Each structure stands twice: as C-alpha cells, then as structure tokens.
Amino acid sequence: MIDRNVEDLSTQEFSLVSQEAQQLFASIAETACQRPELVVQCLEKLQSTVEELQVADEELRQQQEALTGVQADLERERQRYRDLFDFAPDGYLITNGYGLIQEANIAAGRLFNMPPDHMVGKPLVSFVYDDHRHAFLSLLNQLPTLHRVQDWQAKLCSRGQTLFDASLTMEMVHPASQNSSSEATPLPIRWLVRDITPQKRAEEQLRQMQLQNLELREVDHLKTQFIAALSHEMITPLSAILGLAQLLQQHFQQKREGRFVSITERIVNNGRSLLTIIEDMLSHSRLQSFRLTLNPEPVDLRDLLLSTVDELRSLADQKALQIHLRLPTEPLVVTNDILRLRQVVVNLLSNAIKFTDTGSICVNLWELPEGRIAIVVSDTGIGIAPEDQLRIFREFWQASQRNSRQNRGAGLGLSICKAIVELMQGSITVESRLGEGAIFRVELPRWLPTETEE
C-alpha cells in the first residue's frame, strides 16, 4: 500500500513538471522572435522547474529508502513470529473451519511423529482416538459459538498408532486478522496441543497412593482399637495379680522368710514393669485417636516425686543403684493431671534404671521464673549418641540395638512422655554423651486451666 502511494505521488510530480516544461518550450518558440526578454523569463522558469524536479526526486529517494526499511522490519517481524511458531515447546496448529490442517510447527510434528509439512491437508480428527472422535467433532461444530475452548482433554494417536493423553486449547481466528473471507466460509482455528501423559500418570500414581493411604489409616485405626481393647483387658487381671503379690510380700516380710520375700518382690517389680508397658500402650492408642485428655487438679509435686521414687526404688536396689532426690524443702503445689505426671516420671525413672548398670540416678525439682517448673532426671548410664538423640522420641524406637535386646521394651515410653508433656504445654529435652549418662529435662507451666476455668 505504501509502495503504491509513493508511486502515484511521483507520477503526479513528473506529470506536472513535464506539463510545465512543454508549456515553457511552446512559449519560447512563440515569443523568441518578438520579445527576447521573455526568453530569459522562460529560462528562469525552466531552471525553477528543474530545481523542483530535483527536490521531488530527492523526496522520492528518501521515501523509497524509508519504504525499504519498513519492508525489512516487517520481514524481520514476520520471521520472528514464524520462529516463535515453529520452535514453540508445545504443538501449534492452524486449521480451516472444517479442521483441515493448514500449518503445523515442529513440536506438533514431534507429537504426531511426522514432518510438519506432511501434516498439511490432513484432517485433525484423523489423529483423534476413535472413542473420542464424536466428542471432538461435536466440539468443532460448537466452536463458532464458543469462540474459545481451553484445556479440553482427549486421547490422540500419532503415526505408528501410539496413544497419548493431550490437552487441547482452540480458538477461532478473529475476522480482522484475515486478509479476505466471506461470511459463508468458516473462520480458521488456532490449536495448542500439549502432551499431558506424564501428568496423567502422576495423577494416577497419586490416586493409588491416596487409596493406599486410606487403607493404611484403616489398618492403623484397627490396630489402635485392638491395642486399646487388649490393654484394658490386661490391666484388670494384672492389677489383681499385683495386689495379691504385694499381700504375699507383706506376709513373708512379717514372717521374716527372706527367700520368699525376694521372690514376691521380683513378682511385684516385674508386674509393675509390665503394667507400665500396658499403660504406655493404652496411652499411645489414646494419643493416636486424639482421646487422651488431661484432668488438672492441685497436686504437691514434691510428694508425687517422693512416692514415685519409693515405688521404683526396689528396681534400683536390684542393680545396686543409688537414687538421689533434690527437692524443695517446702511443698510445691501445681495444677496438673496427677496420673499423667506420674506416668512421665515413671517412664523417665524406669529408663534411667534400665540403661544404668553402675552409679546413681538423680531427680531434681526446680521452680523457674514466669510460673514454670522443671523436673530433671539424670543418670550415669550408657549415654546416647548425638545422632540417636534426634530419634529417641519417635514411636517404637530405641537408641541402642544392643541394649534394646538386653533391656527389651515397647519403645513407646519416651514418645509418650513427649506427647503428654506437649499436651501439658511443656517441653522435654535430652543432653547426653556415650558412656557419660543422660540428662532429661521436662519444663511445664505450673498451672494448667481446669474445666471450670475453661
């Protein structure tokens, strides 16, 4: 269009100059003999006309250079868009309104396993899997009304009959972008074709994992219910056995029958150890099902530690271990769940006795600032390796495989301590070195809100 306008303008300029020149020559021929001064005027006029012609020629040259530059820019822009089309990472197609392929880029050729120019003229529906062709054709017929459809999923078939999952986005070409068209001719369609086979596989794997997760949750729920039921069933007869064993122990102590006292003491100690394990299993099942609750009430923590240590002292005596208590001289009353506090202390003391062969165990009780208290249980036992200290609070895990065989347990004690302490809004930490014992520190708020306060 620009080239045509410049050509028309230059033609008009030359026509005008030519007419003026002819008129000047005619005037010179008529007046040369009669009035010589007119010849001079005509020559001056001719010179002016020639200068105008030179100016017009320069303007024409500049316009031609500008036109050449614009054409080069347009060609570069066209090539840039062509490269973007050809080298796009996703498959791009252009079809006519009936779905016949007019253009295809390199990525589309890779998807359908054929050179892009070999795809031209083929109906796109021929690459659609048989079961999806009816839906594809229906969508193609609706596209003039919809104008754009995004992420429509179907199975496509490449050359060689290889199926793949694809996401198709299609859009009618806007009429303003067409060079020429009639209302009766369907508009061209742009297509974006993306292979989503890896995504579909990942979705299927995720679905399978979710199903497995549901099955595992159900198994875990059944396991929790079984442990809870078993623990309840075992606690009642075990409590009766412990009660009778303690009566026998008292009887033999009164009769001063040392051999039987030792036997009944062993029965009582082992029964208490078994009861602790069962209580841990029951607490674990309740924690797993979020049914473990606290019943805060006032309790003298000093008395609680004294009574708990007395209960476990016989276990320490069997290994000739000393238990030292460092407690406040005055009662230290806190508001907390007595049973759960005792369970935490029993687990920490039992572990200290279990993994200490020589030396002593120390129990400290401190009052901290800001309404908090600390219970610290230290021992001179085998200690815990640094890498194991990160894992000892996990369920069913024990720090030393050698010692776990010698001191077999459920591996629940410390994980339950951590869960209970956190339920009490507190924290539990450990400091230890191999061969140098361990220090377990429990920090708790001094007062937990009761049901009335809540």
Q: Is the pLDDT of residue 320 over 80?
A: yes
- Helix (H) or strand (E) holding 92, with range, is strand 91-95
- Does residue 417 contact residue 347 with C-beta atoms inside 8 Å? yes
Give per-residue pLDDT as tens, 198-214.
Answer: 999 999 999 999 988 88
Residue 285: the pLDDT is 66
Please indicate whether residue 54 or residue 37 has the higher confidence score (pLDDT): 54
Q: Is the pLDDT of residue 153 over 90?
A: yes
Q: How long, in residues, is the chain? A: 454
Residue 449: pLDDT band (50, 70, 90) is confident
Q: Is the pLDDT of residue 1 over 70?
A: no
Measured between alpha carbons, how far is 192 from 169 in angstroms, rounded to an integer?
5
Mean pLDDT calculated for residue range 128-135:
93
Give per-residue pLDDT as tens, 185-199.
Answer: 778 999 999 999 999
Query: How far does the chain reach from its first CA to its final CA, in angstroms?
Result: 85
Range name among 10-14, 350-354, 429-433 with the lowest pLDDT average: 10-14
**Which CATH number applies to 295-454?**
3.30.565.10
Tokens 């901290």: give the residue. Answer: 368
Residue 401: the pLDDT is 43
Q: Is the pLDDT of residue 103 over 60?
A: yes
Q: What percent of the chain has pLDDT over 90?
A: 40
Superfamily of segment(s) 87-175+183-195: PAS domain (3.30.450.20)
Mean pLDDT calculated for residue range 119-142:
93
**Whole-number average pLDDT of the chain:** 82
DSSP state of 126: G
Q: Is the pLDDT of residue 57 over 60?
A: yes
Residue 161: the pLDDT is 79
Residue 157: the pLDDT is 92
Mean pLDDT calculated for residue range 88-114:
91
Most confident residue range from 12-26, 219-233, 289-303, 371-385: 371-385
Which residues, at least 6 apart from 350, have a Cβ–Cβ distance to it below 8 Å?
273, 276, 312, 315, 413
Residue 173: the pLDDT is 84
Tokens of 193: 């074709």
**Which CATH number applies to 200-292?**
1.10.287
Residue 449's SS3 state is coil
Q: Is the pLDDT of residue 423 over 80?
A: yes
Give per-residue pLDDT as tens, 3-27.
Answer: 555 455 556 665 666 666 666 666 6
